[in-house]
Chain A
Amino acid sequence: MEFLTILQVLDSTMRLATPLLLACLAGLYSERAGIFDIGLEGKMLAAALLSAAVAFSVGNVWIGMLAGIGASLVLSLIHGVASISFRGNQLISGVAINFLASGLTVLIAQDWFAQGGRTPSLVGAARFEPITLPGALTSVREISQAGPVMQIYSELLSGHTVIVYLALLLVPLTWWGLFRTRFGLRLRAVGENPAAVDTAGVSVKGMRFAAVMICGVLCGIAGAYLATALQAQFVKEMTAGRGFIALAALIFAKWRPVQALYACLLFGLLQAIAVRFQSFELGGITIPVQFMEALPYILTVVILAGFVGKAIPPRAGGEPYVKER
């Protein structure tokens, strides 16, 4: 395989890993605070629709993204009310949110644009354009003739949308926020031992709502990225299981931010390979594309099985907190 081909695959890995990473970090905040969230998929989908629709109508992708974040926050709020205020089953609430988003997005898109549940294609300021880093080459011919360092710089590092860089930046930021601030300590404590946090005079509900809302914001950015950067329109069911791959990555990373980056890059790489090669030769054996598609899920099950390092979720995860039991 040529060096440039490898670079191109890695480049598309970056782009495909970004929504996974954002959703994974979203889940990280929520689950570290003890609220399981299998509704990442639905929130991303709702954000994808609203961001594309508003960006198309207003002609400004930033306003579109805000609208997407708003849509995701509404669903987060439902999840919060159901699982924190009414102490409902968090998993069932997540399932409901996924279906709500799956149905409502098509209904709204059909009502708004009457194009079979999609939005018109976004052009110009209505979508995120790639940023060319200073000194990077842009034309394919120039890149193919450049030296390897320049190729890495121009092909792999340069030419992504701003959200890709933002997502990468969020990894150290999340690490710092969770492990080096008072807020982060409380957030993690609420997921491990809410009674202790309550005793310290900090509102468990407040902390959990904060975490669920941060999760909503990040899912919103992830969805907006899908519809306005990775692709240039909303299409029905366009998240295509990414919310669940992000969940898988979260478990794979054992609920840690830096490891989440690695897991998302790995799963992004698998997707990039599956997109580029329909079947893949490895040591004389043909690996079917379906295997590449299923690999993130298989790896997650293996990790969950605990044969390769046990994945232990936050201890109070999934349990509603009752004051003064």
Chain B
Amino acid sequence: MEKMPKWADATLVPLISLLLAAGLSALVILAIGEDPVAAFKLMVDGALMRSSGWGYTLYYATNFIFTGLAVSVAFHARLFNIGGEGQAMFAGLGVALCCLFIPWPHWTLALAGSALFAGLFGAAWALIPAYLQAKRGSHIVITTIMFNYIAFSVLGYMLVNVLRPKGAGEPASVRFPEATHLPTFQDMFSTAATPLFRSAPANVSFFLALAACVFVYLLIWRTRLGYEIRHFGFSETAANYAGTSAVRITIIAMLISGALAGLMAVNTTQGEAERLILNSTEGAGFIGIAVALMGRNHPFGVLLAALLFGFLYQGGAELALWTNIPRELITVIQALVILFTGALDHMVRAPLERLFLAMAKRKTEGL
């Protein structure tokens, strides 16, 4: 007998975790002397009730879709890729090199080119940790953390010593040429009569993110490789017995994961900043962990969770603007979501399972 129906596992467990996280966050808001209900209203107003708010929400969500998918693909192979931040950072370098040094005639081509570069650079940054995990048994979590810091140093070096224009103080590259600028939602959906998404950073790469969701769905559940990845994640010994090479799956899963994290750089670097800056990732690589856990490693779940975190991010910015609640509240919520959906999963799940078992029992007794 199954302990819990599938739908409950997919919806109730994350929802209860979210409620717990929200409840605790409300307590935090109360503790610093603000009104949680008013704060929530303000977040909804700022993030969802105006098209420009949506423009920011979707911009953040784009990042989180990519990093959430990255974490979840690795999770399917039971690999914890904590290095999305570094992979996205390094991919930003790839996007910048692509946009600065290749004379693109049109943004569509530039988008294809920079997506390719972002994916390649992101995958490259995941390659060494993947290789070390597969071949030398070094723990992927530790190596990817180390690679986050190394990526930061590499990026710092490139910006300060190579890409920074002469005489400029700020460690940033020059602006990308006009032809590489991606159309924003404002460009795409506004008409002269009804301006929409005014000055919001959401851009065409959101659709790239949606495509990535479909791609990951097909990959994981509709291809042989995806089956092997899941098989490997479920039981390494069984996968080995069935002839799946652990080295191959580890490396391929991490390369896909790195490439997905890297694609985030298209959104931030080419889509929003239009130049390479030091801190363009803003922790999105880590939010991917919360998004993947919350979204139960399913692309559709990841999409919903990414939208939720996009809302939290934009709402949090509004809170910081209008109240005394700092932006860091969102970090706390993120931490609580990771804690409840990830580490305290058993705590949330066990009472639910007991409840469903009791219900099932009563049903059979009633017959």
| A→B interface (CB under 8 Å) | 38, 78, 81-83, 86-93, 95-100, 102-104, 106-108, 110-111, 117, 241, 244, 247-248, 251, 288, 290-291, 293-294, 297-298, 300-301, 304-306, 311, 313
Contacts of A102 in B (CB 8 A): 328, 331, 335
B161→A96 contact, CB < 8 A: no
Contact of A305 among B136, B147, B346 (CB under 8 A): B136
Cα A42 to Cα B312 in complex, Å, equals: 22
Q: Determine if B289 and A92 form an interchain contact, defined as CB atoms under 8 angstroms apart.
A: yes
Question: In the bound complex, how far is the Cα of B335 from the Cα of A183, in angstroms?
Answer: 34
Q: By the criterion CB–CB under 8 Å, are A110 and B338 in contact?
A: no
Which residues 131-152 of B have a CB within 8 angstroms of A?
132, 136-139, 141-143, 145-147, 149-150, 152
Q: In the complex, A83 Cα to B342 Cα: how many Å?
A: 11
Can you report 22 A-B residue pairs in the complex whose CB atoms are below 8 A from each other?
A82-B339, A88-B346, A91-B141, A92-B80, A96-B338, A96-B342, A97-B335, A99-B334, A99-B335, A100-B332, A247-B142, A290-B153, A291-B153, A294-B150, A297-B146, A297-B150, A297-B153, A298-B146, A300-B142, A304-B143, A305-B132, A311-B138
Partner of A301, one of B80, B147, B325, B328: B147
Contact assessment for B132 and A304 in the assembled complex, using a CB-CB cutoff below 8 Å: yes
Assembly CA distance A305 to B156 (angstroms)? 25
B105 contacts across to A, CB distance below 8 A: none
| Chain A: minimal CB distance from B138 (Å) | 4
Once the chains bind, are B149 and A95 in contact (CB under 8 Å)?
no
Cβ of B103 within 8 Å of any chain A Cβ, yes or no, is: no
Complex contact B286–A304 (CB within 8 A): no
Judging by beta carbons under 8 Å apart, are A95 and B82 in contact? yes
Q: Which residues 232-262 of B sit at the A interface, judged by CB distance below 8 A? A: none
Q: Which of B31, B82, B150 has the most CB of A within 10 A?
A: B150
| B160 proximity list for chain A (CB < 8 A) | 290
Cβ-defined partner of B150 (8 Å) among A82, A117, A251, A298: A298
Q: In whole angstroms, how far apart are the Cα atoms of A299 and B237 in the complex?
A: 32
- Asked if B149 contacts A106 (CB within 8 A), the reply is no
Q: Mark out the residues of chain B between 109 and 151 whose CB falls within 8 Å of any chain A CB in the assembled complex.
A: 128, 132, 136-139, 141-143, 145-147, 149-150
Q: Is B308 an interface residue when CB atoms closer than 8 A count as contact?
A: no
CB pair A91 B80 closer than 8 Å: yes
Measured CA separation A98–B289 after assembly (Å): 13
Q: Are A92 and B326 in contact (CB under 8 A)?
A: no
On B, residues with C-beta under 8 Å from A are 28, 31-33, 80, 82, 128, 132, 136-139, 141-143, 145-147, 149-150, 152-154, 156-157, 160-161, 286, 289, 293, 324-326, 328-336, 338-339, 342-347
Contact of B342 among A93, A107, A111, A301 (CB under 8 A): A93
Give the distance to chain A from B236, nearest Cβ to Cβ, in Å.
Answer: 14
Given known contacts A288-B157, A297-B146, A305-B138, A82 and B343 CB-to-CB distance under 8 angstroms: yes
Q: Beyond the given A96-B343, A102-B328, A107-B332, could you list 14 further A-B residue pairs with CB under 8 A, ordered by the A residue number?
A: A82-B339, A90-B343, A92-B293, A95-B82, A95-B289, A99-B335, A103-B332, A103-B335, A106-B331, A107-B328, A244-B145, A244-B146, A301-B138, A306-B137
Contact (Cβ within 8 A) B334 A103: yes
Shortest CB distance A53–B (Å) = 14
Which residue in chain B gives the minimum CB-CB distance to A286? B161
The 8 residue pairs across chains A and B that have the minimum distance between CB atoms: A103-B331, A93-B343, A99-B335, A92-B342, A294-B153, A103-B332, A88-B343, A304-B138
- State the CA gap A247–B143 with chains docked (Å): 11
Which residues of chain B are near A103, meaning CB under 8 Å?
A: 328-335
Q: How far is B64's CA from A161's CA once the two chains are assembled, in angstroms?
A: 44
Task: Report the separation of the CA atoms of residues A198 and B286 in the bound assembly, to the nearest whole angstrom.
Answer: 37
Q: Is the interface of A mostly helix, strand, loop or mixed?
A: helix
Q: How far is the CA of A288 from the CA of B289 in the complex (A)?
A: 33
- CB-based contact A107/B329 at 8 Å: yes
CA gap between A291 and B145 in the complex, in Å: 17
Q: Which residues of B contact A90 (CB under 8 A)?
A: 343
Residues of B within 8 A of A99 (CB): 286, 331-332, 334-335, 338
A123 to B137, CA, bound (A): 49
| Chain B residue nearest in CB terms to A110 | B326
Assess whether A117 is in contact with B326, with CB atoms less than 8 Å apart. yes
A residues within 8 A CB of B344? 81-82, 86, 88, 93
Beta-carbon contact of B141 and A38 below 8 Å: yes
**Closest residue on chain A to residue B348 by CB atoms:** A86
Find out whether the CB atom of A288 lies under 8 angstroms from the CB atom of B331: no
CA distance A98 to B331 in the complex (A): 10
Q: Is the CB of B142 within 8 A of A93?
A: no
B161: chain A residues at CB < 8 Å are 288
- Distance between A114 CB and nearest chain B CB, rounded to angstroms: 8
Question: Assuming the A-B contacts A294-B153, A304-B143, are A104 and B332 also in contact, with contact meaning beta carbons closer than 8 angstroms in the complex?
Answer: yes
Interface centre among B139, B146, B147, B289 (most CB of A within 10 A): B146
Residue of A nearest to B156 (CB): A290
CB distance from B215 to the nearest CB of A (A): 26
Which residues from chain A contact B289 at a C-beta distance below 8 Å?
92, 95
Residues of A within 8 A of B132 (CB): 301, 304-305
Q: Are B157 and A96 in contact (CB under 8 A)?
A: no
Q: Tell me how far the C-beta of B336 lies from the nearest C-beta in chain A, rounded to whole angstroms.
A: 7
Point out the residues of chain A lying under 8 angstroms from B157, CB to CB: 288, 290-291
Q: Tell me if B153 and A306 are in contact (CB < 8 A).
A: no
Across-interface contacts of A291 in B (CB, < 8 A):
153, 157
A-chain residues with CB within 8 Å of residue B286 when the two chains form the complex: 95, 99
A217 vs B255: C-alpha distance when bound (angstroms): 39
Report whether A92 and B338 are in contact in the complex, using a CB–CB cutoff of 8 Å: yes
